[in-house]
Amino acid sequence: MADTNIPQEECAEKKGLNFVEQIVADDLAAGKNGGRLNTRFPPEPNGYLHIGHAKAICMDFGVAEKFGGTCNLRFDDTNPVKEDVEYVDSIREDIHWLGFDWGDREYYASDYFPQLWDLAVRLIKEGKAYVDDQTSEQIAQQKGTPTTPGQESPYRNRTPEENLDLFIRMNNGEFEEGARVLRAKIDMASPNMHFRDPIMYRIIKTPHHRTGTTWKVYPMYDFAHGQSDYFEGVTHSICTLEFVPHRPLYEHFVKELADDSYCPRQIEFNRLNLTYTVMSKRKLLQLVKEGLVDGWDDPRMPTISGMRRRGFTPASIRNFIDKIGYTKYEALNSISLLEHAVREDLNSIATRGMAVIKPLKVVITNYPEGQSETVEMENNPENPAEGTHSMPFAREIYIERDDFMENPPKKFFRLFPGGEVRLKGAYIIKCEEDGVIKDADGNITELRCTYDPDSRSGMPGSQRKVKGTLHWVAADTAVDATVRMYDRLFAVENPAAEEGDFRDMLNPESLIVVDGVKVEPFIARNAENGKKFQFQRIGYFTPDYSSTPDHLVFNRTIALKDSWEKEQKK
Ligand code: ATP
Ligand code: MG
């Protein structure tokens, strides 16, 4: 025991295990639960999964994978008012997309309603539960505070017979919602507020998406979760830190069922909080319902489906989660770290191509009219095995409007009158002193340039150095596209911590739609769903679901560099 001063987490890290994995390893070594390992991921189907859930998924499925156990998918569907099959389907899809599988172990808390009912009846008969006729406000008022004891309900000492009769009638639909609840009879003076006769069941008359109108009473989270773990054979019930104070109650109810041979155990880790976004399902639902975003899978949303649509990869999300790790302390993680992981993965897999976002036409006056040729472009310099593609070059091309300045400042290494640049993969061009063509309002409409025929790669002048290299596309073969430039959803770092309405903190520039973008034919030909591109010098893009060959639509996944970081350093 030489390391007694080092926190458990650090010890575990030394062995390459996080603190949860260390607990699991120790339990397995001690032969607990017959040497079995079974975790579960327990989403409530009341919204789409977000990146915070991805952290829980990586833990629940990851630890099972690592130690040869299994992980159940359990839908925690105990509140029919908020739940829907649409959410069940999206949750399944998102977990699979992240790369995890639950095999045939798909369960629902609603599957256990009969067993939970039986347990409740048993507790009533044993004098451990009672029906309370008070309103939820009255019950809350009697709760007391952590330092002062609560007050006992006037209904606390009903006989088991009366309680059972009332509970059955609650479930028969004889009473209105809110008229009565079933409470556990534990201790109104307990220092743990969760022990002050917690509510076990409430009346809900909305039909359930799986059990229909069978039930009129529904179990509360604290009465359902631990027992569901037990019924399923879950050994390690891993959740987030806000459940620490619930743990004694979890153990209290589980003890009614478990014995020495098998008992589920709750372990808590820190939840994922991310800058420039919100993680509350309630707030995300509000953004969707009020049309402030384009659905749960809007590419600005922190949802898994939004990130998928935006072009994030499962690997980048998993790498990010790996990097931030699991601890017992709440933290706010920088979205820049996630973006870094996305860039890193896309840099290795994205197909390179050229697109001009704000086109400016260039006519190369000494290039013969009607002539054209092709140049070879590398598909991915990070992976030469991906080969090359050819790109047309012609007398008329487009360059980026921002790459030209009529009166440039010093050290402007792009194009200006009298200046030279290399067109990436092709020739050096020079803008003529009198080559700036304008319309009646003085707007630049076209540039007249000349090219150096010797400067193409493989030619004698190919080694000639010029300061700037621009991306470009040939005008007549370019294909029109719309791009959606996405940026961070919120303008403030931590919307949840700010005073005021979070909706007022949305970033007004989180989506800028640009039409008339010119892409090279190779991009247009390969713009199938899920394809990842790097538009050279611009950023990473992926076709949106709405994209068709007749109207190409690309989502910007992320710019090549972190412009926000630069802003902050100014
Ligand atoms: P609700 O308020 O609806 O309960 P929730 O975000 O807790 O919202 P659940 O569907 O209950 O949603 O979550 C399923 C699992 O995901 C839980 O085990 C929960 O602890 C975990 N989880 C939820 N949010 C995060 C987060 N931000 N970071 C890590 N894990 C999370
Ligand atoms: Mg929850």
Q: Is 44 a catalytic residue?
A: yes
43 alpha carbon – ligand 1 mean position (Å): 7
**CA nearest neighbour of 349 among 311, 390, 380, 389:** 380
- Compute how many other C-beta atoms are within 10 angstroms of the C-beta atom of residue 2: 5
Whole-prediction pTM: 0.93
Q: Whose CA is nearest to atom 23 of ligand 1?
A: 53
- Cβ of 287 closer than 6 Å to ligand 1, yes or no, is no
**Is pLDDT of 11 > 50?**
no
- Compute how many other C-beta atoms are within 10 angstroms of the C-beta atom of residue 124: 26
At residue 154 the predicted structure's pLDDT band, cuts being 50, 70 and 90, is very high
- Residue written as token pair 């295990």: 17
Helix (H) or strand (E) holding 27: helix 19-29
User: Which of 36, 128, 271, 358 is an active site residue?
Assistant: 271
**Is pLDDT of 3 > 50?**
no
**Is pLDDT of 6 > 50?**
no
Q: Are 72 and 40 in contact (CB under 8 A)?
A: yes
- Better-scored residue on pLDDT, 14 or 22: 22
pLDDT digits (tens, 9 = 90+) for 163-195: 999 999 999 999 999 999 999 999 999 999 999
221 alpha carbon – ligand 2 mean position (Å): 9
Q: Report which ligand 1 atom has the smallest distance to the Cα of 42.
A: 14
User: Which of 9, 13, 44, 396 is an active site residue?
Assistant: 44
- Cβ of 185 closer than 6 Å to ligand 1, yes or no, is no
Q: 519: Cβ–Cβ under 8 A, 6 or more apart, which residues?
A: 353, 354, 355, 356, 473, 478, 479, 480, 481, 535, 552, 554
Q: Report which ligand 1 atom has the smallest distance to the Cα of 242.
A: 20
Q: Is 281 a catalytic residue?
A: yes
Angle at 560 between CA 558 and CA 561, to 5 degrees: 100
Position 463 scores a pLDDT of: 86
pLDDT digits (tens, 9 = 90+) for 36-93: 999 999 999 999 999 999 999 999 999 999 999 999 999 999 999 998 999 999 999 9
At residue 565 the predicted structure's pLDDT band, cuts being 50, 70 and 90, is low
Count how many Cα atoms sit within 13 Å of the Cα of residue 246 in the half-sphere of its side chain.
Answer: 21
Q: Report which ligand 1 atom has the smallest distance to the Cα of 271.
A: 28
- Cβ of 53 closer than 6 Å to ligand 1, yes or no, is yes
Position 15 scores a pLDDT of: 62
Q: Whose CA is nearest to atom 22 of ligand 1?
A: 53
- The strand order across the sheet containing 106-108 reads 38-41, 70-75, 106-108
- Cβ of 52 closer than 6 Å to ligand 1, yes or no, is yes
pLDDT digits (tens, 9 = 90+) for 376-414: 999 999 999 999 999 999 999 999 999 999 999 999 999
Position 564 scores a pLDDT of: 64
Averaged pLDDT score across all residues of the chain: 95
Q: Encoding tokens for residue 525?
A: 């030909």
At residue 460 the predicted structure's pLDDT band, cuts being 50, 70 and 90, is confident
**Is pLDDT of 370 > 80?**
yes
Break the chain down into helix, strand, coil percent, rounded to 5: 35, 25, 40
Residue 177 φ/ψ, nearest 5 degrees: -55, 135
Q: Are 400 and 471 in contact (CB under 8 A)?
A: yes
Report the pLDDT averaged over residues 502-529.
97
44 alpha carbon – ligand 1 mean position (Å): 8
CA distance 28 to 236: 11
**Is pLDDT of 1 > 60?**
no
**Percent of the chain predicted with pLDDT > 90:** 93
User: Which of 180, 216, 281, 488 is an active site residue?
Assistant: 281
**CA nearest neighbour of 416 among 397, 438, 433:** 433
- Cβ of 105 closer than 6 Å to ligand 1, yes or no, is no
- Cβ of 279 closer than 6 Å to ligand 1, yes or no, is yes
Report the pLDDT averaged over residues 319-336.
96
CA distance 305 to 298: 8
Q: Which of 20, 46, 53 to mutate to test the pocket of ligand 1 (most atoms within 8 A of CB)?
A: 53
Q: Encoding tokens for residue 287?
A: 């953004």
